[in-house]
Amino acid sequence: MDNKLKISINDLHFSYKDKSVLSGASLRIMENTINAIVGPSGIGKSTFLTTLNRLWDTTSAEMTGKIEIFFHGVPQDIYDPRFPETTLRRKVGMVFQAPNPLPMSIFRNVAFPLKLAGKTSRGETEESVEKALRQAFLWDEVKDRLHKDALLLSGGQQQRLCIARALVLAPEVLLLDEPTSSLDEKAGAVIEELLVELKKNCTMVIVSHYLAQVDRIADTVHELVGGKFVTGRR
Amino acid sequence: MKALTEKSVVAVFRGSAFLSAGAAALILGFLLVFGLPLFREGRIFSLVTTMWAPAEGRYGILPMLAGTAAIASLGVVLSIPLSFGAAALISVFAPRRWGRFFRAVFLMATGIPTVIYGFVGIFLLAPFVREFFDAGSGLCVLSAALMLAVLVTPTMTIFFVHGFDRTPRSYLQAVDALGGNDVQKLLYVILPGAWRHIIGGITLAAGRAQGDTLLALMLSGNAARIPGEPLESARTLTAHIALVFAADHESPEFLSIFVCGLMLYLFSTLTVVVLRRLEAPFRRQHR
């Protein structure tokens, strides 16, 4: 594993409705690693994730500090006003706690980000969708029913579909907010396995409650304590 | 105890439902009974297909049918894009605080009495139409339809907003996280899920537009002839009922207003049936 810096977080302060969540948090995340963010619930782990793709609610929260992500080796201040958040979110994918497929077919769900990005060539779309579904370990299970409603899939399949959807634009960073917490053990294990496989292409930041899971897949563990990160390999 | 309360509540609701359905049926019956002489003599068909010329003893309501169709449909067609834009602004594009403000304004607007719209129409809109198009008195199909559009837009907008706001948060979050902008969110996720509410809003607006009496009476000029273009005067079925009713209870004209009532009934029923058919394919998909 190489040791290139992927994300640099410097002196992050974050407060939500006057309640301080992060106070001077700094963190360095290396390329092609899985980074677990741990800590008691309600301490702001998920909020921290959303600072990395600017998905937090700007109307009721405030943030200061600097976050740089090295896209193809070039540092980018992700809060630079000239850097559109839609561009950022196409490079930094996110998977949520509960699977959130859209009410459309399996194929159209995975192709949706391509449509949003204005990439509409049919052949390319089909190719990208298949590749993403394979990366998410879902292709074999759905290849015969790509045009069926995505909401008919099982919970574990839906979550892998959401991972595939996040992967279709080939993001360099993937944020995962307790991605297995709504799934049974077996479905969760498949996802853990695929995340480890994804390290080849992606840098991952994962919020997890399960210490066993963190032990199994994380390269680095960052504990959120009093609004700051304490980093250590468990 | 609980079972008893539940039963009585169900009984009350059922009673209310029967009562309102019964009222609608009763009105239809009333119209039919009073219009019966016309049916018996088979005159109803000639009445709905001929012109209005009481001096010559002809009481056809064809011009009024055309007037209602023209004014109501133009009004609804004009208000659809207006409502659509307003609803999109309220629930998608405006900052939250402004969205809430606009929503309150539109809710309030649904409660403004029609006659106020009529005043605005007479003192502001009609003179404007008169000057701008150089069109006689300015009392014409266009004036009535424009004001009607303003009248039904708040109702339609609130309906659309309800539909838009029902979009599950997880869908919106998914689009945000995938790098979609607000327009894409509206087109690809919010709209497909709101189809039922859109049709519902249009149905309600169409009903109100057909049934509105005052605006047409005040703004359309009330000439009992088929309008050839939007700048010509026209008379609606509702305005006709009001005008004839006010004039004379004994005349042969009087009977014709029951035909007008029947036709209005038929129009609104047809509108509901047609629009509900449009909505049907989406009913199963979105609960």
For B6-32, write each residue's pLDDT tens digit.
889 999 999 999 999 999 999 989 888
Tell me the pLDDT tens digit for each residue of B156-201.
999 999 999 999 999 999 999 999 999 999 999 999 999 989 999 9
Q: Residue A37 above 70 pLDDT?
A: yes
Among B173, B184, B285, beta carbon nearest to A96: B173
User: Among all chains, which residue has been given the structure tokens 């409650």?
Assistant: A209
Give the DSSP H/E element, type plus range, for residue A221.
strand A220-225
Interface of B with A (CB under 8 A): 95-96, 170-171, 173-181, 184, 188-189, 192-193, 285-286
Cα–Cα dist B142/B64, whole Å? 16
Alpha carbon B140 to chain centroid, angstroms:
18
pLDDT given at position B65 = 93
Domain A5-103+169-232 has CATH 2.40.10.120: no
> Would you call A116 and B177 a contact, using CB atoms and an 8 Å cutoff?
no
Q: What pTM, to 2 d.p., does this model score?
A: 0.85
Q: How confident is the model at residue A159 (pLDDT cuts 50, 70, 90)?
A: very high
Chain A residue with minimum CA distance to B187: A116
> Would you call B171 and A88 a contact, using CB atoms and an 8 Å cutoff?
no
Contacts of A93 in chain B (CB under 8 A): 177-178
- Angstroms from A92 CA to nearest CA on chain B: 9
Q: Residue B271 above 80 pLDDT?
A: yes
Stretch 178-197 of chain A: residues touching chain B, C-beta under 8 Å: none
Cα–Cα dist A215/A103, whole Å? 35
- Angstroms from B2 CA to nearest CA on chain A: 36
Tell me the pLDDT tens digit for each residue of B56-100.
888 888 999 999 999 999 999 999 999 999 999 999 999 989 999
- Angstroms from B94 CA to nearest CA on chain A: 12
Cα–Cα separations (whole angstroms), residue A160 to A100, A192, A206, B182, B283: 11, 11, 15, 26, 29
Mean pLDDT of chain A: 92
Chain B residue with minimum CA distance to A110: B178
- Is the model more confident about A232 or about A82? A82
> Would you call B178 and A115 a contact, using CB atoms and an 8 Å cutoff?
no
Q: Residue A186 above 90 pLDDT?
A: no
Q: Residue A2 above 70 pLDDT?
A: no
Task: Check: CB of residue B133 under 8 Å from CB of residue B63.
Answer: no
Cα–Cα dist A113/B175, whole Å? 8
pLDDT given at position A98 = 92
Cα–Cα separations (whole angstroms), residue B260 to A99, A234, B38, B220, B249: 56, 83, 12, 17, 15
Task: Check: CB of residue B126 under 8 Å from CB of residue B138.
Answer: yes
Contacts of B176 in chain A (CB under 8 A): 55, 89
* Mean pLDDT, range A184-210, rounded to an integer: 91
Kindly list the structural domains of chain B, giving each domain's residue range(s) and its CATH number in brackets, ordered by start. 45-49+58-283 (1.10.3720.10)
Q: Residue A179 above 80 pLDDT?
A: yes
Q: Which residues of B123-146 are buried (b: 16+ CB within 10 A; e: fewer)?
A: eebbeebbeeeebeebbbbbbbbb
Beta-carbon pairs below 8 A across chains A and B: 59
* Mean pLDDT, range B217-223, rounded to an integer: 91
Sheet holding A74-77, edge to edge: A19-30, A5-16, A61-71, A74-77
* Mean pLDDT, range A170-180, rounded to an integer: 94
Query: What six digits make up the tokens of A167?
Result: 């992967």
Q: For chain A, what's the residue count?
A: 234
pLDDT given at position B286 = 46
pLDDT given at position A57 = 85
* Mean pLDDT, range A196-212, rounded to an integer: 92
DSSP state of B71: H
Q: Residue A154 above 90 pLDDT?
A: yes
pLDDT given at position A11 = 94
The answer, for A116 touching chain B at a CB cutoff of 8 Å, is yes
Tell me the pLDDT tens digit for each residue of A56-74.
988 889 999 999 999 999 9
Cα–Cα dist A156/A197, whole Å? 17
Chain A residue with minimum CA distance to B174: A100
- Angstroms from A50 CA to nearest CA on chain B: 9
pLDDT given at position B35 = 79
pLDDT given at position B284 = 53
Q: How confident is the model at residue A233 (pLDDT cuts 50, 70, 90)?
A: low
Report the residue of A105, A108, A112, A120 to disrupt the B interface, i.e. the one with the largest count of B CBs within 10 Å: A112
Give the DSSP H/E element, type plus range, for residue B124.
none
Long-range CB contacts (within 8 A, 24+) of B281-286: B282/B195, B282/B196, B283/B196, B285/A103, B286/A103, B286/B193, B286/B195, B286/B196
